[in-house]
Amino acid sequence: MKNTSLPLIISLDELDPAMFISYYLNNKESIEQKLLETGAIKFTGVHIDSLTDFQYVIDAISDRFLNYIDGNSPRTKLSGNVYTSTEYDNTDKITMHNELSYSAKWPNKLFFSCLQPANIGGETLLANSKDILINMDKAIVSAIANKGIMYIRNLHGGRGFGPSWQDTFETEDKTTVDKYCRDYQIEFEWHDGGNLKLVQRSKGIIEHRINKQKLWFNQIDQFHPCHLGEEILEAMLLMYDTPECFPTYVKFGDGTEIDESIVREILQTIDTLTLAPLWQKNELLIIDNELVCHGRNPFTGLRKVLVAMSE
């Protein structure tokens, strides 16, 4: 059953950033409890008209921010803690995912605000991770629970298809990358041309850090070749020796292949549970990244959404 109350809407009376910060801090305990219960809260009537406003607000209501290091999506860093939302072509749908769920380190909270809503579409999609797990085909859940997931990424050194290791790790220093990979148990191999292969192992189903609920928490479909579409996949197969050499690939944790039919079933199940709340200006959306996954609808016109991530 779809959770139709996602996100929880809290309507405020046209608060400027300083007034909202005061409201939030005075009610922080209650807000944190509501976020734990619902997984996503959208505050309306908060005057966030610029990057400066957004940075000011999130710096005041949260801390321990994370950079998008080890990230796999194209986005631009705008300031110390703030990025653009994923910059895929506006005609593409970004399928549902928990941010950095393939990584050993992921954010606990995501903060979004829309400075410019699209003319049509562009909603930040939401779905409850617990509901996904409950409704998912039991054979798929069992396979993931027993085998785990292996994410494979092939990052180029500056010229190639997909992201570079420099952009992924926000550094030009290989020793910094080596240390990061060792610290977070990422298997890594440097190849000719400065290319880098990463292998990251994930449970795919986790327990929430606080309430211990079991949750769907993976990005199988986004790493699987079938997400590319038939035309692009055919071109990629001409460019690479095997699909495992693609910029992204995924297997079960024991090395067995994940059939396309499994990915199709995952997408279909999640789609039935996905909500598409409209964006308006002067809103702040906070998501518990473990409890709720997100995506993006295609859109027309200009769209500008800011995002920050914290532990």
Q: Between 79 and 156, whose confidence is greater? A: 156
User: Alpha-carbon distance 87 to 304, whole Å?
Assistant: 10
Domain containing 58 equals 8-123+277-306
pLDDT tens sequence across 140-149: 999 999 999 9
Assigned token pair, 181? 């990979």
User: Is residue 146 domain-resident?
Assistant: no
Distance CA 39, CA 132 (A): 13
CA angle, residues 89, 95, 96, in degrees to nearest 5: 140
Segment 183-192 mean pLDDT: 94
CATH code of the domain containing 84: 3.60.130.10
131: closest CA among 39, 62, 246? Answer: 39
The answer to whether position 291 is within a domain reads: yes
Q: What is the 3-state secondary structure (H, E, C) of 105-132?
A: CCCCEEEEEEEECCCEECCEEEEEHHHH
Q: How many domains does the chain have?
A: 1
pTM, rounded to two decimals: 0.92
State residue 215's pLDDT score: 98
Across the range 177-194, mean pLDDT stands at 94
- pLDDT tens track for 278-302: 999 999 999 999 999 999 999 999 9
Q: Is 273 exposed, middle or buried (0-12, 13-18, 19+ CB in 10 A)?
A: buried
The answer to whether residue 20 is domain-embedded is: yes
Has residue 89 been placed in a domain?
yes
Whether 209 maps to a domain, the answer reads no
Tell me if 225 is assigned to some domain.
no
State pLDDT tens for residues 6-53: 999 999 999 999 999 999 999 999 999 999 999 999 999 999 999 999
Residue 11 CA to residue 245 CA, distance in Å, equals 48
157-179: pLDDT as tens digits:
988 888 899 989 989 999 999 99
Is residue 191 domain-resident? no
- 139 in a structural domain: no
Question: For residue 174, which amino acid is it?
Answer: K
